[in-house]
C-alpha cells in the first residue's frame, strides 16, 4: 500500500492529510484559537468530590473543570497490581480488579487536594476535559509510566516471538520506579533505539517533577508536542513512503526532530515548492467539502446518510439508483458490501467517535449477514482508534463504539446555526474565512485579476476585518490586490461571492478549487 502524509500550513490553521493509495483516509486540523489538551499534564486542585457519581471535578486552569472518574485513578484501577516480566501481557485476575474498586473515590481524594493528572479526552460540547491520574509520557518506541514496575508490549504487534524478543531487550533497561509500554513502532528495533528513547523520557520526567514541586496549582507542567510533531511521532513509520510539507519553517522543525529521533526516515521528508497549493495538487479540497455533507454517494448510485447527534451517530445505507442485475438478495449484498468500505472511510475521515449505529439494507440470508459482519470488521484494520463492533443483527443494524478523544471534524469545521437556535450546524466563520483566503491564493497564481469586490454576510465581514486580525488587509498586502468588502444581509453566513471590480463579472466559481 502506498502511504503519504501531506502537511498544509497557513497562519490560521494547519491541516495534515493521511493518504492511502492516493485516497484521503484521515485529516487532522489545528487552529491557533483552539488549544489541544490531550496529552497535557497538569498540577490540578480538586474542586468537588462526588461519591454518588464516583467522580471528581478538578481545576486545571481551563475554563471548564476537568472530569476525573474513579476508573481513571491509579490506586482504584488494575494498575495497582504489579506483574512479573513473563506475565506482562496478561490482564489482572477479575477478583483483584473488583477488590481494588470497592474503595470509594472519597477515601482517596479530598477537596482542595493537589493532584497530578493528564488529559485523555478533549472538551466536547458542554463537557470539560476528561483526565486520569495514570500519567504516561510517549516516546517514539516506548511509553514511560512513572510509579510503576511492569513492562507491556503493544497488542498490535502480531508475532509472539517478536513480543518475547522485545520484552527480553526492554525489561533489563527499565529504570527503577518506572514501567514501560513497548509501542507498535518498536517492532524490529534494537537495544540502542530503546536506550536513547528511555534517556530522553526520563530526563523529561525529571523536568516535570521539578515543575510539580515549584508551581502552584492549577498549572500546566507539561504540554504535548505540537500536532505536526506528534503526528510524525505516532504515524510516520517505516511503511510511510513520503511526507510532503509546504512551509519552510515547519520543514526545518520537522527535519531537526527527524535527525534526533528517526534519522533513517529523514530522506522521505520533502519541502513542497510548487505554485499550486498542496491540497489542490492532490485534489483534496472537494473531498474535504464532501466530508461536511450529510449525503455521501457510493459506487453505482447507492448512497449513505450520516446524522450526528449528541447521543450517537447514525449511518443509513440506501440503494438509490442501483438496481443490480441479479436477484434482490445479491443486489442488496453488493450494495451493503460497497457501503462498508465507504462507512469505514467516512468514520476515520470525519473522526467520528462514541456510539455509532449503521443501518444496512435487510438481508434474509444468515450467511450474507455473516459475510457483511466479517467485511465490516476487516474494513477497520488500519484504524488506530480503539473500537468494539457487534455482529449484524436480524434488523440489519451494526452497532459499534469508537474511541472519542476530540470533537469530530464535522464539529471542528462548523458551528451552531444562529437561526435555528443550535438544532443544526453550519460551516463556521473561521472555516469560511480560510476558504476565502485560499480562493485569493488561487487567483494570485492565475494572475489575470487585481481588483475584486468580495460580498459576504455582515457577521462574516466582522470575522474577516474585525476582531483585531484584518485578514483582508493581509491578503491585499501579500498579493498586491485591491479588495472591497461588501456586506449583504441576505447572503447566508457560509457563502461568499467575488466579482471583478472593473466589469462586475462574477468570479466565484473560477477559483473555488
Closest CA to 138 of 254, 40, 277: 40
Number of domains in the chain: 4
Closest CA to 64 of 136, 122, 149, 140: 122
Structural domain harbouring 456: 413-511
Return the CATH number at 492.
3.40.1260.20
Indicate if 95 and 158 belong to the same structural domain. yes
Q: Cα angle vertex 142, ends 139, 146, to 5°?
A: 90
Instruction: Decide if 506 is inside a domain.
Output: yes
Indicate if 451 and 344 belong to the same structural domain. no
Instruction: Decide if 195 is inside a domain.
Output: yes
Indicate if 45 and 23 belong to the same structural domain. no
Which 3 state secondary structure label does DSSP give 28? strand
Indicate if 47 and 147 belong to the same structural domain. yes
Parallel, antiparallel or unpaired: strands 3-9 and 242-245 = parallel
Indicate if 69 and 211 belong to the same structural domain. yes
Residue ranges of the chain whose pLDDT lies below 70: 75-103, 321-326, 420-423, 467-468
Instruction: Decide if 319 is inside a domain.
Output: yes
Closest CA to 478 of 438, 513, 430: 438
Indicate if 112 and 207 belong to the same structural domain. yes
- How much is the pLDDT for 394? 83
Residue range 209-220, pLDDT digits in tens? 999 999 999 999
Indicate if 466 and 487 belong to the same structural domain. yes
d(CA 56, CA 37): 19
Within 13 Å, how many C-alpha atoms sit on residue 473's CB side? 7
Instruction: Decide if 407 is inside a domain.
Output: no
Indicate if 319 and 371 belong to the same structural domain. yes
Indicate if 128 and 212 belong to the same structural domain. yes
- How much is the pLDDT for 302? 87
Q: Which one of 264, 285, 306 terminates a domain?
A: 285
Indicate if 69 and 183 belong to the same structural domain. yes
pTM: 0.76
H-type helices in 18-149, by residue range?
94-101
Q: Which residues contact 317 (CB under 8 A, 6 or more apart)?
A: 302, 304, 335, 336, 339, 343, 358, 359, 360, 361
Q: How many angstroms separate the Cα of 477 from the Cα of each of 295, 454, 474, 482?
A: 39, 16, 5, 9
- The grid coordinates of residue 358 equal 449503521
Indicate if 48 and 175 belong to the same structural domain. yes
Indicate if 267 and 178 belong to the same structural domain. no
Amino acid at each position: 500500500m502506498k502511504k503519504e502524509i501531506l502537511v498544509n500550513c497557513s497562519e490560521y490553521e494547519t491541516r495534515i492529510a493521511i493518504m492511502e493509495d492516493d485516497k484521503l483516509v484521515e485529516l487532522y486540523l489545528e487552529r491557533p484559537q483552539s488549544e489541544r489538551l490531550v496529552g497535557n499534564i497538569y498540577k490540578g486542585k480538586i474542586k468537588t468530590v462526588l461519591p454518588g457519581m464516583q467522580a471528581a471535578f478538578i481545576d486545571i486552569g481551563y475554563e471548564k473543570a476537568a472530569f476525573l472518574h474513579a476508573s481513571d485513578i491509579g490506586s482504584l484501577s488494575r494498575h495497582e497490581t504489579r506483574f512479573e516480566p513473563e506475565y506482562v501481557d496478561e490482564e489482572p485476575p477479575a477478583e483483584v480488579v473488583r477488590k481494588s474498586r470497592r474503595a470509594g473515590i472519597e477515601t482517596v481524594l479530598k477537596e482542595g487536594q493537589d493532584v497530578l493528572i493528564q488529559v485523555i479526552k478533549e472538551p466536547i460540547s458542554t463537557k470539560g476535559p476528561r483526565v486520569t491520574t495514570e500519567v504516561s509520557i510517549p516516546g517514539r518506541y516506548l511509553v514511560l509510566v512513572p510509579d510503576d514496575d511492569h513492562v507491556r508490549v503493544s497488542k498490535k504487534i502480531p508475532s509472539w516471538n517478536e513480543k518475547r524478543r522485545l520484552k527480553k531487550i526492554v525489561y533489563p533497561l527499565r529504570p527503577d520506579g518506572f514501567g514501560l509500554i513497548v509501542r507498535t513502532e518498536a517492532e524490529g528495533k534494537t537495544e540502542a533505539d530503546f536506550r536513547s528513547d528511555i534517556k530522553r523520557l526520563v530526563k523529561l520526567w525529571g523536568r516535570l517533577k521539578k515543575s510539580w514541586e515549584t508551581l502552584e496549582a492549577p498549572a500546566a507542567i507539561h504540554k504535548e508536542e505540537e500536532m505536526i510533531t506528534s503526528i510524525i511521532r505516532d504515524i510516520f513509520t517505516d511503511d510511510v513512503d513520503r511526507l510532503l510539507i509546504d512551509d519552510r519553517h515547519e520543514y526545518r522543525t520537522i527535519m531537526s526532530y527527524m535527525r534526533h529521533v528517526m534519522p533513517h526516515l529523514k530522506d522521505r521528508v520533502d519541502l513542497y515548492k510548487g505554485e499550486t497549493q498542496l491540497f489542490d495538487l492532490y485534489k483534496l479540497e472537494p473531498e474535504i467539502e464532501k466530508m461536511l455533507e450529510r449525503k455521501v454517494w457510493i459506487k453505482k448510485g447507492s448512497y449513505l446518510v450520516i446524522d450526528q447527534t449528541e447521543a450517537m451517530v447514525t449511518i443509513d445505507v440506501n440503494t438509490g439508483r442501483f438496481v443490480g442485475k441479479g436477484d434482490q438478495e445479491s443486489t442488496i449484498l453488493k450494495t451493503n458490501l460497497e457501503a462498508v468500505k465507504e462507512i469505514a472511510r467516512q468514520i476515520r475521515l470525519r473522526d467520528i467517535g462514541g456510539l455509532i449505529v449503521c443501518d444496512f439494507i435487510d438481508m434474509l440470508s444468515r450467511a450474507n449477514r455473516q459475510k457483511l459482519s466479517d467485511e465490516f470488521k476487516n474494513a477497520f484494520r488500519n484504524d488506530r482508534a480503539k473500537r468494539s463492533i457487534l455482529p449484524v443483527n436480524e434488523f440489519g443494524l451494526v452497532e459499534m463504539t469508537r474511541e472519542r478523544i476530540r470533537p469530530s471534524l464535522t464539529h471542528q469545521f462548523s458551528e451552531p446555526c444562529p437561526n435555528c437556535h443550535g438544532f443544526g450546524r453550519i460551516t463556521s466563520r473561521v472555516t469560511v474565512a480560510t476558504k476565502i483566503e485560499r480562493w485569493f491564493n488561487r487567483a494570485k497564481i492565475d494572475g489575470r485579476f487585481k481588483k475584486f469586490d468580495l460580498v459576504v454576510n455582515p457577521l462574516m465581514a466582522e470575522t474577516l476585518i474585525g476582531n483585531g486580525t484584518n485578514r483582508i488587509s493581509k491578503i491585499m498586502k501579500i498579493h498586491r490586490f485591491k479588495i472591497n468588502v461588501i456586506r449583504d444581509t441576505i447572503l447566508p453566513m457560509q457563502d461568499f461571492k467575488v466579482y471583478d471590480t472593473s466589469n462586475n463579472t462574477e468570479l466565484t466559481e473560477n477559483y473555488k478549487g
